Amino acid sequence: MKINEVTSKNVNEYDVPDNFEVNPKHKEINDLGRKMEALAQTMDKDDKDGVFATGFSRLGPVLAEFGAGVMSANNMEDVVKKSSLSKEIVVKLMQKAKAAPEPESEFKTKATRTKMRTEPKKSKVSVAKAPWDK
């Protein structure tokens, strides 16, 4: 079979079934999990928040994929099992994450990118002058 025969056939388009959409019941939990992942990356891990950062990094991915299928967590028992945290700690971490402000995005806005391109870079390294440079 030649490549022209394969590519010349018409391909019918169709709508993707709705089973790939996020269940509206799970959207809030999934968003909270993504927020936990972002908080875990931005928190200072050296002070008392280090405990929360560790908890968020364990619980965040589990909640981010909550209800996504057979292999993901679908209830509190699954969340406890997959995150290796107790139910009380899971509830406290979820409350703390809900109360926390949204972490800043790592993506810069268009205005910030434009400003970065137009401004010269400021070097933080001090360069010593050579003896012949006077």
What's the domain range around 84?
Answer: 19-101
Q: How does pLDDT run across 66-121, given as a tens digit for each residue?
A: 988 788 888 999 999 999 999 999 999 999 999 988 877 655 545 554 555 555 55
What pLDDT is attached to residue 77?
A: 93
Q: Is 63 exposed, middle or buried (0-12, 13-18, 19+ CB in 10 A)?
A: buried
Considering only residues 5 and 91, tell me which one the structure prediction assigns the higher pLDDT.
91
Domain assignment of residue 5, yes or no: no
What pLDDT is attached to residue 25?
A: 83
Distance CA 56, CA 93 (A): 7
Distance CA 48, CA 127 (A): 39
State how far Cα 75 lies from the chain centre.
Answer: 21
What pLDDT is attached to residue 121?
A: 57
Domain assignment of residue 120, yes or no: no
Domain assignment of residue 75, yes or no: yes
**Percent of the residues in the chain that have a pLDDT greater than 70, as a whole number:** 58
Distance CA 30, CA 32 (A): 5
Domain assignment of residue 111, yes or no: no
Q: Residue 89, Cβ neighbours under 10 Å: how many?
A: 16
Closest CA to 41 of 53, 58, 59: 53
Q: Say which amino acid occupies 21.
A: E
- Average pLDDT, whole number, for the chain? 75
